[in-house]
Amino acid sequence: MEKPILLDCRNVWKIYGAHANRVHRENKGNPSADDLKSHGLIGAVRNANVQIRQGEIFVIMGLSGSGKSTLVRCMSRLIEPTSGEVLFEGKDLLTMTGKELIEIRRKKMGMVFQHFALLPHLTVLQNAAFPLEIQGVPKAEREARAREVVELVGLKGREAYYPRQLSGGQQQRVGIARSLAVEPDLWFLDEPFSALDPLIRREMQDEFLRLQNLLHKTIVFITHDFDEAIRLADRIAVMKDGEVVQIATPEELVLNPATKYVEEFTRHIPRSKVLSLGAVMTPGAPDGETAGSLQATQRIEDCADQIESNALPFRVLDEDGTVVGSIGRQAVVDVLIGRIATS
């Protein structure tokens, strides 16, 4: 059963340039790329329809200039869309007053950006508590909550440090703690790890997944790194030239790319990182002896060694523990060498 929709973007446009609204109107709300170009306009977001489900990690990805950051800023109304609807908990953000919007941002939305934007004169604890201070939360209460989130992100013992005394990864953890202090229902992260060194970036991805397993937030995560996207995402939206060209699970993107652009985007991704056991198993209960049980949702990369080291196949179970198939060495080898047979 699908989870309820928390954020629903309908026919969202963001056009930059003189007379953008008029051109949009004259073309019945659906100007083509040629229409925009002929008027010297830029369609940063073009007719985007995106639904974010409660509790999922929804990744928006694309090359620089594809419109992903603009779309997220439209979702949170940090910038005003040219047209469309952005429904949060069923209410259109675009019709809200400034006061209503501020209240939602303060209490229901968290945001983490690539540049940490920590306040240099405040300690780790004070930075984490800052959103609560803005809300007028009493000092004792906000510091207690700040201590909780600082510990949650692995910085216990560094509460009195200043940003200059922290590494890049630690500073990003403070940014994450600050955004979590308000206990947001919806969490926006705009390329939060892209400025970090590869080893620290991997560590932060691990930390991010650990936090999500604990908190079960609804997350919109922007990245241009497909490896990062497939590691983190429940679903991915691929953008090109302001358009959302496909929304799918990482596995579906690789197995069934909707366009040549998506196919090219996923071409060099090792299939073992993306494909689940359920995609390559032999359906039906296995005959004879097996080596044990694995989950259909597990990725090949995570259990390839285990499967290859056994002569016997493994049972494959669904979420309810029902046997839905089996998988053995040959299926794993086919994935690893690029000779994929999917069920």
For position 309, what pLDDT does the model report? 92
Are residue 203 and residue 303 in the same domain, yes or no? no
Are residue 299 and residue 199 in the same domain, yes or no? no
CA distance 272 to 99: 48
For position 268, what pLDDT does the model report? 82
Are residue 237 and residue 305 in the same domain, yes or no? no
Segment 67-75 mean pLDDT: 95
Residue 157 CB burial class (10 angstroms; 0-12, 13-18, ≥19): exposed
Picking from 229, 253, 269, the residue at the C-terminal end of a domain is 269
pLDDT tens by residue, 315-324: 999 999 999 9
Percentage of the chain surpassing pLDDT 90?
68
pLDDT interval class at 164 (50, 70, 90): very high
For position 340, what pLDDT does the model report? 60
Helix (H) / strand (E) element for 88: namely strand 83-88
Segment 223-239 mean pLDDT: 92
- In whole angstroms, how large is the CA radius of gyration of the chain? 23
The count of structural domains within the chain is 2
For position 192, what pLDDT does the model report? 85
Is residue 27, in this structure, part of any structural domain at all? yes
Segment 81-107 mean pLDDT: 93
Is residue 171, in this structure, part of any structural domain at all? no
Pair 167, 200: CB distance under 8 Å: yes
The CATH number of the domain holding residue 263 is: 3.40.50.300
Is residue 303, in this structure, part of any structural domain at all? yes
The pTM score is: 0.86
Most distant CA atoms of the chain, gap in Å: 71
CA distance 241 to 100: 32
pLDDT tens by residue, 254-291: 889 999 999 988 888 888 888 999 999 999 988 889 99
| Predicted confidence (pLDDT) at residue 341 exceeds the cutoff of 80 | no
For position 339, what pLDDT does the model report? 64
Picking from 248, 269, 290, the residue at the C-terminal end of a domain is 269
Higher pLDDT, 23 or 196: 23
Task: Provide the residue range defining the domain that includes 292.
Answer: 272-336
pLDDT tens by residue, 47-60: 999 999 999 999 99
Are residue 189 and residue 236 in the same domain, yes or no? yes
pLDDT interval class at 343 (50, 70, 90): very low
For position 129, what pLDDT does the model report? 95
